[in-house]
Amino acid sequence: MKDGGVKAAFGKVKITPEEPAPLQGYDPGLYIANPDKDILDELYARVLILDDGRSRQVIVSVDCCLTNEKDYLSPNPDGQMEPYRQLLQTFPEGTKRLWADAAQTEEFTVSVHATHTHSAPEHFSGKYTSRIAALIAETAERLQDVQIRAAAGQCSVSVNRRPHLQHNDTLPIDPSLHLIMIESVDGEALGAIVNCAVHPTLLANPFNRVSSEFVGLAMSEYESTFKEGFVSLFIQGFSGNVGPRDHYRTETEDTYPWVLEMAQVLHLDIARAAKDLQPIGILPMKAADKQVTLPTRQGYYKPTIDVTLQGFRIGDLLLLAVSCEVFNGYEKLIKPYSPASFTLMSGLANGCHGYLPTVEAFRDGLGGYEMNVTPYDETVSDLFVRAAAELVESL
């Protein structure tokens, strides 16, 4: 490819479970989906590959809850450390390496993102990760010259959920929604990235059903407005303390109709943002990752956790991905360091290392689920911001 341009391609493959599947999100030992009767809508993996002729970047968005290849031990939600809740590996060890090999690129240039639906399998076996690897290899054969447009809008489905995992608009969040549209040089829409922060936790009564939740359904709805082959990736934001609006967890009825309704609301948010799409620069293209060692709070079974930070730069666009459920307040602390006009923040990416509250949350006395299950203490805040700032500045 000649200097000065970027090629890209999108792909999508179904990963709906075809056998009984314990579901991650609430209690995998209790909520097990039967594929013959408990599938409400399909689960997908969506892929974007970008290539500037010198390097390649791969973004994988999966309709799943987490992205860890190793088990993670979470403190008990009742406020005691033990017994720990064991979060089993979402993918077999070596999955990211497998996907990098499929794309013929290095592992640090592959970023794996969970939409964070709480109604997907706890574990995706090699049967499904190999299916995604085949998709990546096939997608890499379809690269074409592209241009990029971007817009910033508002997400009307999100609200702070502390301290009771319920709607609480007395505490602030950043409701930003980013839409990145990738087009052929002739202006044909090929695919998109949608980035906002919200816990997809609406589906209930019963909990043993499979769904991509309102975030995945909104992607499918947006895709349906373009010609076949258009793919829209949902990139979950810094959503540690962000839930869906008007959700109080007091519902007794089947909430799937509400999931469908909320998907339409998010789709309208995307459509509104699309009206403001503007061309952006597509070079330089860079990727970097780093580990930041964060201290844990007293009583946790090990003194530190190595958290993964990964950054992609595509011209005026920057993506920062973190392997934690990051509190939303960190966005305003990190974005000023970004050299890009559009900065996307993503949690629950490239691993699972627990909730990462802000120093304000550690000190506000409100407590709540997130504060009970975090393995960290307040000293992590400055360390995390400093490490994230260094990474984005390097891009």
Q: What local confidence, expressed as pLDDT, does residue 79 receive? A: 86
Q: What local confidence, expressed as pLDDT, does residue 270 receive? A: 99
Q: What angle do helix axes 95-103 and 126-140 make, rounded to 10 degrees?
A: 20
Residue whose pair of structure tokens reads 């620069």 in the numeric block: 281
CB 343 within 8 A of CB 392: yes
The pLDDT mean for the chain works out to 98
Which of the residues in the chain have pLDDT under 70? 1-4
Q: What local confidence, expressed as pLDDT, does residue 1 receive? A: 37
Burial of 268 per CB tally in 10 Å (0-12, 13-18, 19+): middle
Q: Where along the chain do its domains lie?
A: 7-281
Q: Which pTM value belongs to this model?
A: 0.97
The runs of H, that is alpha helices, within 224-378 are: 256-274, 330-334, 359-363, 369-373
Q: What angle do CA 61, 248, 20 make, to 5 degrees?
A: 45
